Structure 1
Amino acid sequence: MGSFNDIRADAQLVSEFTPHQVRAAVDYYEEMDEKYKKVGGVSYVTGNSLGGGLTNAVAVQNPGVTAVTLNPSPLPEHMIEPGQPYDNITNYCSDFDVLTKSLDAGGYGHQIPGKRYNINNGIPGIDQAITNHTGYRNTKDGIQYYTIGEKGKPGYGRIYIDADSHIVTSIWTGIPLYGGYSERIDIDKEKHDPFSVIS
């Protein structure tokens, strides 16, 4: 949630104005993609908050790039083509993120292109606004949870806020699971039983 310039850019992103950071991000991507062209270029980009908005700006203009964001800021409406699915973009939005809630309440959610998945991380409260937004608690010892209640009494426990801990993945492929239809796995026990005797 950083500097005043980031906050000002976030506000500009809901207007028709294209902030300097958006143009600079696209230019930087093109520069790095060209620099690493011999090894396949840059095919993945990611970001959080304003960085998420900048990530999406790059991916909107470069459909071959895969983008993943956490609680991204919106893009100026004129940058997004209506009806375009932007399948190369995946956005994770935290349940208690103040930016996501504000965009949805203000009717700006459509200015986040691509697929959106809500993840159940963070905890309510103004004191946790920053950690809910970034998806991580910034502590020196790396502990990423809040302790609630009193030890030995009902209600005592930990609330883990790491955003990546709340993205369910397949144990076989590591690919995120979002619900919906999946192929049935046919397990032939006789053919694949590790305890069967091979003759």
Structure 2
Amino acid sequence: MAVTSDTRRPGRGARERILAAAARLFATRGIAATGMEQVAAQAPVSKRTLYAHFRTRDELAIAHLEELIASGGTMEGALNRTDLDPRERILLLFDQPDPGDLPVRGCPFLDAAAEFPDPEHPVHAYVREQKLRMVRTVTDLVTELGCRAPEELAEQLVTLADGAAGRSMILNRVDYGRHGRAAADALISQALKA
């Protein structure tokens, strides 16, 4: 009996379609409210193909977050830009992408952690690791700028960025980050004066 390509090797492009469908559904419904059947229907792929790529919704959620990082379209993506100086990269943390007709979602990592509040849950643990990585990157950038107390300043800046993203989502205002940006700029200036 021949084994079909669906069982041995899922079709080319299926993974990308699944991730694209998951991104749309997670952005509009949330991760916890999205079932695997809904993702399969939206992709469109068979449930067999979906589960060949992602055994659980947790795996799919983490792959979705990894895809967001790889795209460079996250708040953290701004930190890795090499065409800008460190200060401008930090200040870009406060610029929310325009969601078009969709509601402002803020930070998808904070959204994911809120949906899975158990610190031991795989999605929550993944988000925590990314947020810690973000602080390390900001610490490196403020150190490069010559700021005093770089670890403390980095924590303040990341806390401010996360708070601004949360308020952007709650108020559905893509431009809300300008308030956090102004505060971050003042914090950096103060740390440079010393």
Flag whether TM exceeds 0.5 (same fold). Answer: no
* Higher relative strand content: 1
Q: Which has the higher contact order (CA 8 A, sep 6+)?
A: 2
TM-score (norm 2): 0.28
TM-score (norm 1): 0.28
* Higher relative helix content: 2
